[in-house]
A and B are shown apart, each in its own frame.
Chain A
Amino acid sequence: MSFRDLLAYSAGALRGHRLRAGLSLLGVAIGIASVVLLTSLGEGARTYVTGEFASLGSNLLIVTPGKTETTGMAPLVSVAPHDLTLGDVEAIARRVRQVRRVAPLSFGAAPAAVGARRRDITVAGTTAEFQGVRHVHIGVGRYLPAGDLERGGPVCVIGAKIQQELFAGENPLGEIVRLGDERFRVVGVMAPRGLSIGLDLDEMVHIPVVRALKLFNRAGLFRLLIEVGSHEEIPAAKKAVIEVLRARHEGQEDFTILTQDSVLSTFGRILALLTAALAGIAAISLTVAGVGIMNVMLVSVSERTREIGLLKALGVTKRQVVAVFLVEAAILSAAGGAAGLVVAFAATRTFTAVYPGFPIEPPTWAVAAAAVVSVSVGLLFGTLPARHAARLEPVAALARR
């Protein structure tokens, strides 16, 4: 029996119960569409985040206090006998050739007040260099003034949202903000930026780093951001920074240097895991669709008991009976898979039209896998009913009414 004849015969049998076939086909279509769509979303998120990081500049080194064996966003186990100090910042700026800018960072929360309005606020202590390192845009006024690291005037730059909340939209330039017990004069407002990875600049107040350390009563910095001339200089700069800091920390390497690459790869891993989780959820719906196919095929087998008995009387072998029902199941699931792919592509197109900024594109591997899986689902879940059919005794099958 040729495969074409087999296909024609099985397809003819499917046409005999269109509604049932259509419904189980729908099940597979939904399963496949969700696999492709969810993995597209996951991959899209990964591409998006990667793009965001790249826009921050790939020529950044981040120094955090404490040494950790795990690479990642932040050190998990900190043994920091030495703080990162402003002296370290100066030493790096002076002695490491590749450095273009160094921005120290100190973070803390403080109660802020303007007149009677008050709220708790995230305060970042840094320097004028920060503007260049993190591409901060100024709405009105100016950023923190350049000047001596160890001295800084009582000035601050506020986020767009802070301006709304504390100044109710009035011009804040030259006005006074109280942070804790200290008074800071507003010199600028940062342009609204929305969420940027890691920092929400809209809800932040920036003050000179030396003031922040005093405000929070700290000796050590939270982080150093070092910008080098180009991405190629990163390894050499990293080595030089390690040397300088070691010399200053009595030979100990009690700090961690992160590069964008390592941060990126961590994010990449997390998001790949997310994609896998989404694919897992989608796989469940595909399994449900498979059970649907099995159900339809079992009904088909019991409905066509007499036909199977007849085939056996005509000298059709067990293997051929199995093939008839397997091909039927495979046709169902392959057609469902094709429909699912069409739906998925249509949905991603629509998504792209609505949110042009978010890169959503069905990954090639997911499409290929969906095509393979849809046929295998049919074969896998068609096996049981097909074997069931092949095992029927011809005499009993023919006698059934």
Chain B
Amino acid sequence: MIELLRVCRDYEVGGRPVHALRHIDLSVPDGDYLSIMGPSGSGKSTLLNVIGCLDRPTSGSYRVDGREVAGLSDDKLSLLRQKGFGFVFQAYHLVPRLTAQGNVELPMLFAGVEPGERTRRATKALDRVGLAERALHTAEQLSGGERQRVAIARAVVMGPKVVLADEPTGNLDMAAGGEILKLLEEMNADGLTLLLVTHEPALGRRARHHLRLVDGAISGEEREGP
């Protein structure tokens, strides 16, 4: 359960204050599928970064499962990111020198998971995204769609409750993008909370819960179903 109450995020660009987020009130229940839409510069990514604890709100309250995040130390935030959130980026952000397997093992490596267990879980995650037989290719040898699958496998391998996807299909063609989205939606169907940032209305409409941002403020929110 994710709850934001009057969250603001301000920063300075060239000495001028920028209000990236203005008084955001948002509640995302477990297992939700939320799309965040809006023109570029509307604060979509900033919101996603705040939710993913990569960025801290300037003011307001942000709770994850009832726990206030604002006062947490850097190390506690790291732990929260490690266990609670999986990230999928537009630019994939794979480590190019590592194999697909190595990239998926990366979060487990720093979390101190035993080597045998790492291999087992990475193999399973790669199998889940349909890349089992490409496991030993380096990131550079993979196509864009394959890279993003590796990134998804990496995002879910630590067993987070929430996956945050920032324009995950932005660098892919229609077919590959559609497959990626389908994969994420399957995981959502299995109980994962999915937050999807996109500027394409066609993609955004597939979610059950829509949020529209303009100039850092919520301009519209609608929820389908119950």
List CB contacts (< 8 Å) of B102-125 with chain A: 106-107, 109-112, 115
B54 contacts the other chain (Cβ, under 8 Å)?
yes
In the complex, the answer to whether B93 meets A398 with C-beta atoms within 8 Å is: yes
Note all chain A residues with C-beta closer than 8 A to B110.
1, 311, 314-316, 320
B59 contacts the other chain (Cβ, under 8 Å)?
no
Question: How many A-B residue contacts, CB cutoff 8 Å?
Answer: 67
Note all chain A residues with C-beta closer than 8 A to B87.
313-314
A193-221 Cβ-contact flags toward B at 8 Å (1 or 0): 00000000000000000000000000000
B64 contacts the other chain (Cβ, under 8 Å)?
no
Binds B, one of A178-186, A302-310, A345-353: A302-310
B55 contacts the other chain (Cβ, under 8 Å)?
yes
**Nearest 6 pairs between A and B by C-beta?**
A315-B82, A315-B81, A314-B107, A317-B78, A316-B110, A310-B93
Nearest-neighbour CB distance to chain B for A278, whole angstroms, equals: 42
In the complex, the answer to whether A315 meets B83 with C-beta atoms within 8 Å is: yes
Cβ contact of A394, chosen from B54, B82, B98, cutoff 8 A:
B54
In the complex, the answer to whether B93 meets A306 with C-beta atoms within 8 Å is: yes
B12 contacts the other chain (Cβ, under 8 Å)?
no
Note all chain B residues with C-beta closer than 8 A to A314.
81-82, 87, 106-107, 110, 154
B19-60 Cβ-contact flags toward A at 8 Å (1 or 0): 000000000000000000000000000000100101100000
Given contacts A1-B111, A13-B97, A398-B93, 13 further A-B contacts (CB under 8 A): A1-B109, A5-B115, A16-B97, A307-B93, A312-B54, A313-B81, A313-B93, A314-B82, A315-B79, A315-B80, A315-B107, A318-B74, A395-B54
- Determine the distance from Cα of A317 to Cα of B75 in the docked complex, in whole angstroms: 6
Question: From B87, which residue of chain A is reached at the shortest CB distance?
Answer: A313
Q: Count A interface residues, CB 8 Å.
A: 26
Q: Count B interface residues, CB 8 Å.
A: 28
Note all chain A residues with C-beta closer than 8 A to B106.
311, 314
B18 contacts the other chain (Cβ, under 8 Å)?
no
Note all chain A residues with C-beta closer than 8 A to B62.
none
In the complex, the answer to whether A12 meets B109 with C-beta atoms within 8 Å is: no
Nearest-neighbour CB distance to chain B for A393, whole angstroms, equals: 8
- Determine the distance from Cα of A309 to Cα of B91 in the docked complex, in whole angstroms: 12
Cβ contact of B78, chosen from A5, A13, A315, A395, cutoff 8 A:
A315
A119 contacts the other chain (Cβ, under 8 Å)?
no
Note all chain B residues with C-beta closer than 8 A to A9.
109
A246 contacts the other chain (Cβ, under 8 Å)?
no
**B49, B75, B110: residue with the most chain A Cβ atoms closer than 10 Å:** B110
B58-73 Cβ-contact flags toward A at 8 Å (1 or 0): 0000000000000000
In the complex, the answer to whether B81 meets A310 with C-beta atoms within 8 Å is: no
Cβ contact of A312, chosen from B78, B109, B111, cutoff 8 A:
B78
Nearest-neighbour CB distance to chain B for A227, whole angstroms, equals: 74
Nearest-neighbour CB distance to chain A for B104, whole angstroms, equals: 11
A15 contacts the other chain (Cβ, under 8 Å)?
yes
Note all chain A residues with C-beta closer than 8 A to B112.
1-2
- Pick 26 A–B contacts, CB within 8 A, sort by A: A1-B109, A1-B110, A5-B109, A12-B97, A12-B98, A13-B97, A306-B91, A307-B93, A312-B54, A313-B81, A313-B87, A314-B106, A314-B107, A315-B81, A315-B82, A315-B107, A315-B110, A315-B158, A316-B78, A317-B74, A317-B75, A320-B110, A395-B55, A398-B54, A398-B93, A401-B91
Note all chain B residues with C-beta closer than 8 A to A316.
78, 82, 110
Cβ contact of A313, chosen from B54, B75, B115, cutoff 8 A:
B54
